[in-house]
Amino acid sequence: MLLFTVIIIDILAGAEVDLFVPSFPELQKIFHLSPFLIQFMLSGNLVFYCLCSLFAGALGDRYNRRSVMLISLSVLLLGSILCVTAVYYPMLLVGRILQGIGMAGPAALAFPIALEYFSVQKQAAIVGILNGIANLSMAFAPVVGSYINLFFGWRGNFIVLLAMSAFCLVMSYFVLPNRQGNPAVSLSLKAYWPLLCSVKMQFFTAFFCFLASTYWVFIGMAPILYMHDLGVSLKEFGYYQGVLAATFGLISLVSPKFFTWFGKANCFYTGIALCIVSGLCAVGIICFNISQPLLITTVVVFMSIAAAVPVAILFPQALAVLEHSGGRASALMLASRLILTALTLIVVSYFYNGTFFPIGLAMVIFQFVAMFCVWKLLAEKWIVLS
């Protein structure tokens, strides 16, 4: 039941973003919002998400992760209620910010809670399975969100998030273990100082931060690019966006089999090579100013396939860089990714010109920065592939 509860929480984390984005065009029209303001509902959510995840990680390591999880889910529930009942943009924005604050605890602590029950040898497989299931839920979220929006309007998506938040809160109350943490962990941001001073952790964090942001920047801008400027209908958009998460999810889900068949090292190096090739393909899309949704989606799907296996292998190793710091390490990587994604979305939406160029440029830069981080980790022999 514990693993099931963590999976449900991960599904909620994915749905909190992907179920909502198909509503962008309708919200933009109803509330008379610019692309910047509509995008700020996502980036503002991410900013508070990341800031609060840092405190959630420290709280979880010092006190009781179950209590932190329950409080966070309660805040998420309150934010969902505000979104459902919103009649003005500021009210909707406050609801989205509360959703970001509430999602911080579950996002930062779900993986550490699950991984502490499995051996080191099994952790990569568990990460792959959890990533796979979570991302499959993200794959269905835009499809479901598109149909909900089509038949019930934008409020329908927030009603679904409200119901999911309530369900996760009840499950967490009855299932999550009641374990005490380490009283020596500081509640201030100084608790993260040992991690921030670790060069090894810096490169692990940068790898996950830039690789994940490659995907999230595209997810955040795709509704405007596809539906507003490339002529994709609301119904079709869900499939375009859903296939991205589905691909990453399926590869993550079967990654334990890949490790058994081909070995972790072979899987890892193949994934890194595919990351480089997919980045070069994105460069081609930019240089030739291609505006075909199917071709753009194909390249981003290729990026998702390439990233899945390296992420599954390296994430457990990043959590174990320093002893007894799994919650803070998870929160640090999450917060770094969210900050970078939020800031990049603000910049990209500001310079957005109706084409893939500003989106693709950010994605390509992030992809190759992530590859540099992997090179450094390998050069220093900080990655274990046995």
* Total domains present in the chain: 1
Tell me, yes or no, whether 375 lies in a domain. Answer: yes
pLDDT digits (tens, 9 = 90+) for 2-12: 777 877 887 88
Asked if residue 86 belongs to a domain, the reply is: yes
Write down the mean pLDDT value for the chain. 84
CB 269 within 8 A of CB 377: no
Contact 192, 328 (CB under 8 A): yes
| For range 213-240, the mean pLDDT | 82
143-169 pLDDT, tens per residue?
777 778 888 888 988 998 999 999 999
**Would you state the structure tokens that stand for residue 58, as one six-digit string?**
């420290």
CATH of the domain at 276: 1.20.1250.20
Question: What are the tens digits of pLDDT across the range 253-270?
Answer: 777 788 889 988 999 999
Q: Are 113 and 5 in contact (CB under 8 A)?
A: no
297 vs 179, residue with greater confidence = 297
| pLDDT band at residue 102 using 50, 70 and 90 as cut-offs | very high
Residues 313-322 as b/e (b if ≥16 CB within 10 A, e otherwise) read bbbbbbbebe
Residue labelled with tokens 């996760």: 168
Q: Check if the beta carbon of residue 60 is closer than 8 Å to that of residue 109.
A: yes
pLDDT tier for residue 18 given thresholds of 50, 70 and 90: low
Q: Is the pLDDT of residue 23 over 90?
A: no
> Residue 34 — φ and ψ, nearest 5°?
-80, 165
Residue 186 covered by a domain: no
Digit-coded pLDDT (tens) for 231-245: 888 778 767 777 776
Range with lowest mean pLDDT among 56-65, 87-96, 218-227: 56-65
Tokens of 246: 């589905």
Residue 89 lies in a domain: yes
In-domain check, residue 386: no
Q: Is 314 left (phi over 0), alpha (psi -120 to 50) or beta?
A: alpha
Task: Return the closest-CA partner of residue 329 out of 216, 127, 193.
Answer: 193
- Three-state secondary structure along the chain? CHHHHHHHHHHHHHHHHHCCHHHHHHHHHHCCCCHHHHHHHHHHHHHHHHHHHHHHHHHHHHCCHHHHHHHHHHHHHHHHHHHHHCCCHHHHHHHHHHHHHHHHHHHHHHHHHHHCCCCHHHHHHHHHHHHHHHHHHHHHHHHHHHHHHHHHCHHHHHHHHHHHHHHHHHHHHHHCCCCCCCCCCCCCHHHHHHHHHCHHHHHHHHHHHHHHHHHHHHHHHHHHHHHHHCCCCHHHHHHHHHHHHHHHHHHHHHHHHHHHHHCHHHHHHHHHHHHHHHHHHHHHHHHCCCCCHHHHHHHHHHHHHHHHHHHHHHHHHHHCCCCCCHHHHHHHHHHHHHHHHHHHHHHHHHHCCCCCHHHHHHHHHHHHHHHHHHHHHHHCCCCCCC
pLDDT of residue 201: 94
- Domain assignment present for residue 359? The answer is yes
Q: Structure tokens of 247?
A: 């691909």
Look at 51-55, 346-350, 375-379 and tell me which has the smallest mean pLDDT.
51-55
b vs e for 83-96, b when ≥16 Cβ sit within 10 Å of the residue's Cβ?
bbebeebeebbbbb
Contact 216, 341 (CB under 8 A): yes
Parent domain of 144 = 2-174+191-379
**pLDDT tens by residue, 302-355:** 888 888 888 888 888 888 888 777 778 877 887 888 788 878 888 998 889 889
Determine the pLDDT at residue 111: 74
Flag whether 339 is in a domain. yes
Angle between helices 264-287 and 357-379 (to 10 degrees): 150
CA atoms within 13 A on the CB side of 244: 27
> Does residue 180 lie in a domain region?
no
40 pLDDT above the threshold of 70? yes
State the Cα–Cα distance between residues 383 and 204, nearest whole angstrom. 9
In one-letter notation, the amino acid at residue 206 is A
- What is the C-alpha separation between 25 and 22, in angstroms, rounded? 7
